[in-house]
Amino acid sequence: MSPLSPPLTRRRFLRTAAVAAGAAATPVTVAQPANLAAPPAIPISNGIQVGAVSFVDEGVEPVLDIFQQASVDTIYLTTFTYGRGLAGRQIPGQPFPDHGKQESDEKTFHGGNYATPHPQYYQATVLKETRAPEHGDLDIVAAVLPAARKRGIKLFCSIEDVFRNDVPGVKEVTEMDWQGRRSNTLCLFHPDVRAFWTGLATDLCQSYEIDGILFFNERNGPLLNALGASHAQNIASSRVTCFCPHHQQAARAAGISFERARDGYRKLDQFVQAALRDQRPSDGYFVEFWRVLMEYPEVMAWDRLFDQGKHQVLAEVNAAVKGARKNLQVGFHIEHVNSFNPIFRATRRYDDLATKADFLKVVAYNNCGGERYASFIRNVGSTIFRDVPKDELLQFNNHLLNYSREAGLGELATAGLSPDYVARETKRALDGVQGKCRILPGIDIDIPTGRNSRKAKPDDTFAATQAALAAGAQGVILSRKYSEMRLANLAAAGQAVRNFTKSQKR
């Protein structure tokens, strides 16, 4: 590949950095490049998520220049996904940031493996043909790694469990819902799917001198999906997964009845659908929901079975990476729902996750967090908590989650969540892992939101980054992808890292 001429000069970047610093809540000075070379007293990792298209559009060296000016020392390079959250340019319908091609890739975006899949690692899986086609023969890891190394920047490959249904082999390994219908998602108990993830992790770690893997899997079990317990999903009680023969086999081994679980999910579906039609059970919504759980404990058991499958894959990926080279690091992305859904929180233990990873990227996105948290409240407020006025439900939930003084439901999307939210989620994670792994909160830099919802500003990213570091995080991961970040916001995050590092030296 031939790096294109830089559309951004350093002077322009420093100008945006100056604007960012001026807008920040705390008085800051714009660091000159000479200051950036000084090693920090306490090493704080400042990572950024970036996809292949940014290096193609803007050139490898110019992008690395911008990263270094924002004090980035680690790249999380999107290497495998079919999703637009981590790969591709700005998502359709959202304004382009002030760099990169100002043209939608909606028609050309495909996704897949942006490195070179080496066939020997995929012999035990039907998922053999995953090469991303949109950048021709470009191998993004081979293209970026030497340039990053030269500058002392670490490089991790990000891999994400998001597929598309026209990938060869996918139809053979998809999940089955409780009514026996195939879905578009991949079964995490299927041996071919497990072999794919370990094969991919091994391939990347054996074929390239990378620093490790960051694994993304935001998928939820059937109980949470039936209730719409995340921020973005539909309330999909009629289609929840996975009840395929591999899951049935795992259930038998665990002594869980498939028939009872299926009957329980039928009852749960009836409850949810009646709630959505506003048909109140005579004992009220919450009591009826709790009764389904009491009468069919298999509903809960099957949800835990889903998590078991997911965590088994995490453990296998971890083992594969360590098997490739002992000093490689493994990180897991901990999805946003973990911070605002108490039911989800109960399904995860930080001390357990710490045994499977060297670091956790705990999502603490505060700008889009307002909009997402409001959606979550509306979702759970339309089924199990339908009897509770939604603003009161929000206040109640704030208490359960240990949030303080966030905006009310009507203003939450425009206000976003506060830097204090970032600090509290960081602290909770640090307390949970007890020093057994590092906590690198994910910082929201221009994650797309609805038209009237909070948009990131330099003082937001500065304050969020500062809050995470002051709470004790060992670093941050600027998210979701460089191709949606405005440079002033990125610069402000870098300034917060430098300020914090400087304050530690004193």
Where does this chain bind Zn ion (CB under 5 A)?
187, 189, 242, 244, 246-247
Q: By C-beta, is 313 or 496 nearer to Zn ion?
A: 313
Provide the minimum distance between the beta carbon of 183 and Zn ion in the complex, in angstroms, as a whole number: 10
Fill in the amino acid letter for 353: L
Token digits for 397?
Answer: 């939930």
Nearest CA-CA partner of 177 in 266, 260, 253: 266
- Reduce the secondary structure of 418-464 to three states and give it as a string: CHHHHHHHHHHHHHHHCCCCEECCEEECCCCCCCCCCCCCHHHHHHH
On the CB side of 115, how many CA atoms lie within 13 Å of its CA?
A: 26
| Rg, C-alpha atoms of the chain | 23
Are 483 and 94 in contact by the 8 Å Cβ rule? The answer is: no
Contact 73, 153 (CB under 8 A): yes
Q: Which segments of 41-164 does DSSP mark as H helices, in order?
A: 52-58, 60-69, 140-150
CB of 176 to Zn ion, least distance (A): 6
* Residue nearer to Zn ion on the CB measure, 198 or 495: 198
Residue 259 and residue 400 in contact, taking contact as beta carbons nearer than 8 Å: no
319, with CB counted inside 10 A (0-12, 13-18, 19+), is middle
| Closer residue to Zn ion, CB minimum distance, 177 or 203 | 177
Q: How far apart are CA 397 and CA 403, in angstroms?
A: 8
In the complex, the smallest distance separating the C-beta of residue 247 from Zn ion, rounded to whole angstroms, is: 4
In the complex, the smallest distance separating the C-beta of residue 212 from Zn ion, rounded to whole angstroms, is 28
Which residue lies nearer to Zn ion by CB, 305 or 368?
A: 305
Give min distance, CB of 311 to Zn ion, in A: 15
Residue 310 CA to residue 217 CA, distance in Å, equals: 8
| Alpha carbons 264 and 295: distance in angstroms, whole number | 8
Q: What are phi and psi of 270, to 5 degrees?
A: -60, -40
Helix (H) or strand (E) holding 347: helix 342-347
State which residue, 163 or 373, has the beta carbon closest to Zn ion: 163
Q: Which residue number, 114 or 306, has a Cβ lying nearer to Zn ion?
A: 306
Q: Give min distance, CB of 317 to Zn ion, in A.
A: 18
Complex with Zn ion: residue 113 or 185, whichever CB lies closer: 185
Please state the closest distance from residue 188 (CB atom) to Zn ion, in A.
7
Least Å distance, CB 153 to Zn ion, is: 39
What six digits make up the tokens of 478? 């600027």
Q: Please, which residue, 194 or 481, has the CB nearer to Zn ion?
A: 194
- 3-state SS assignment for residue 97: coil
Q: Which is nearer to Zn ion, 262 or 386 (CB)?
A: 262
Q: Measured from the CB of residue 407, what is the shortest distance to Zn ion in angstroms?
A: 40
Return all residues near 335 (Cβ < 8 A) that are at least 6 apart: 218, 230, 363
| Alpha carbon 333 to its chain's center | 5
Report, in Å, the least distance between residue 486 CB and Zn ion.
41
Q: Which CB atom, from 182 or from 349, has the smaller least distance to Zn ion?
A: 182
CB of 108 to Zn ion, least distance (A): 33
Cβ distance to Zn ion smaller for residue 217 or 453: 217
CA dihedral 409, 415, 420, 423 (to 10 degrees): 100
Give me the phi and psi of 399, to 5 degrees please: -65, -45
